[in-house]
Amino acid sequence: AQSVSQHNHHVILSEAASLELGCNYSYGGTVNLFWYVQYPGQHLQLLLKYFSGDPLVKGIKGFEAEFIKSKFSFNLRKPSVQWSDTAEYFCAVTKNTGFQKLVFGTGTRLLVSP
Amino acid sequence: NAGVTQTPKFQVLKTGQSMTLQCAQDMNHEYMSWYRQDPGMGLRLIHYSVGAGITDQGEVPNGYNVSRSTTEDFPLRLLSAAPSQTSVYFCASNLQGTPYTGELFFGEGSRLTVL
C-alpha cells in the first residue's frame, strides 16, 4: 500500500529563516504529489501540486517543492518564512494510473516566531 | 458558490448513540470523500464516492456507513458511536471522477466527541 512519511513533526523557526519540510512516499510507480496547508482553525487548502514536467513546482505564497524521483521525495521549501506561515503542512500522494485514493502524511506543525 | 458545507460543526455523543454528519457541495463534483484527522496521524480516508450510487471503503471504514443518492450530498453515518471515533471529520470533493487530476476542496470540518 502507498504510504507517505513526513519526518519533521514539529518545526519552530524565526521569521526570515528558510524552510524545508521533508516528504517521502513509498509507491514506486508514477504518482501525483500535493502539499496542503491548514492554518489554525481553518480547513485544508492546496499549496501546490505536481503531476508531470518540471520537477520544481511553484505554489502560492512563495512556496515551492522539488520532486526527486530517485529519492521518492517531494520536499517543500520557502526561502524566508513569515509569522503568517504558522500552520500544519500535509504532503499527499496518489497514483497516476487509474483511480486511487489520496494518501496523506501525518503532517508537520510549523511555528514561526516573530 | 458555498463550496463544501459540513454540518454540524461540533457534536458530543454518548457511546452507543448514532448520528449522521452531513456533507453537501454545490460545485457538481463527482468525487466526494470523508477523512478523519487525529493528532499525529494526519488525515485518514474513511469512505469515498466517485459518483451518485457508487461508494467504496478507504483506510479506516469500520464503524462508518455512507451513501450517495445525489451528486450533491454524501452523508457519513456513525451507527454506534465509540470513544475511538472522537476526531475531526473532513469532507472533501473533486470535480472529476478521480482525485488525482485536480485539487480536493475541503469543508471546514466537524469536531465529534464521543463520551
Q: Check CB contact of A42 with chain B, cutoff 8 Å.
A: yes
C-beta of residue A102 within 8 angstroms of C-beta of residue A34 = yes
* Nearest by CB: A94 against B43, B92, B100: B100
Which residues of chain B carry a pLDDT beneath 70? 1, 97-102
Strand blocks (E) in chain B: 4-7, 10-13, 19-25, 31-38, 42-51, 54-57, 64-66, 76-78, 87-94, 105-106, 110-114
Instruction: Give the nearest chain A residue to B108 (CA atoms).
Output: A43
CA dihedral A6, A9, A10, A14 (to 10 degrees): -10
Mind listing the pLDDT tens digit of every residue in chain A (114 residues)?
Answer: 668 999 889 999 999 999 999 999 998 788 889 999 999 988 899 999 998 899 999 999 999 999 999 999 999 999 999 999 999 999 999 876 555 678 899 999 999 998
* Beta strands A56-58; B105-106: pairing state: unpaired
Q: Check CB contact of B28 with chain A, cutoff 8 Å.
A: no
φ and ψ at residue A70, rounded to 5 degrees: -65, -25
